[in-house]
Amino acid sequence: MNWNQLLPYLGPAIIVIVVLRRALRAQEPRRIRPNLLWIQPAILLAGMITLFAAAPVQLSPLAIGIFAIGAVAGAAVGYFRALHQQFSIDAETGNVMSKATPLGSLLFLGIFIVRFAMNSWMKGGPQTDMHHPPSANVLLYTDATLFFAFAMVAATAFEVYRRTRPVVAAHKAGQGTDTTTIS
């Protein structure tokens, strides 16, 4: 067996292992801070503004449409991602805990598969021919993925905040039990 033939599969295999590990770890409760959920979308927005200021995009109707599709798709995925999380309050510490449902983990894996397929499609398939450069719209599609990522993270943060607010309020009012859960 020639190891050089297996080398192109090493990178994707490592990525699959990391994604599977993350999907399994999502089944374990982890602490979230609802009042700090705005930070990640703000960082992504600042990064997007910086990137677009450094390399201005030609805003054509096609570009605006692709950006809008990316943002709407990202918001929908972010909403469904947050919708498939279970929240609880740790009675001892009062911390909000989050755990993905099995469907939420499958959604995460599905997003990864779609991303991997789009990456392969944009590169022209598994064997990239360097004599034929990719489509001129590759940068446009890449910029659209920024809108997708920002909208997904912002929608997830908003929905998590919206769903955890009543649980935190009930716990502060002394109405919460040690395993207050909202699905």
pLDDT digits (tens, 9 = 90+) for 23-45: 777 677 888 888 899 999 999 99
User: pLDDT tens-digit profile of 93-131?
Assistant: 878 888 877 776 677 677 777 766 776 666 665 555 556
For 59, what's the count of Cα atoms within 13 Å in the CB-facing half-sphere? 5
* Whole-number pLDDT of residue 179: 46
Higher per-residue confidence, 13 vs 124: 13
- Put simply, whether the predicted model's pTM sits higher than 0.75 gets the answer no
DSSP state string for 152-171: HHHHHHHHHHHHHHHHHHHH
Under 8 Å CB-to-CB from 156, ≥6 apart: which residues? Answer: 78, 79, 81, 82
Helices 138-172 and 102-122, axial angle in degrees (round to 10): 170
Report, as an integer, the average pLDDT of 123-148. Answer: 70
pLDDT in tens, 80-93: 888 888 888 887 78
The pLDDT mean for the chain works out to 79
Q: How far apart are CA 117 and CA 111, in angstroms?
A: 10
- Across the range 164-175, mean pLDDT stands at 81
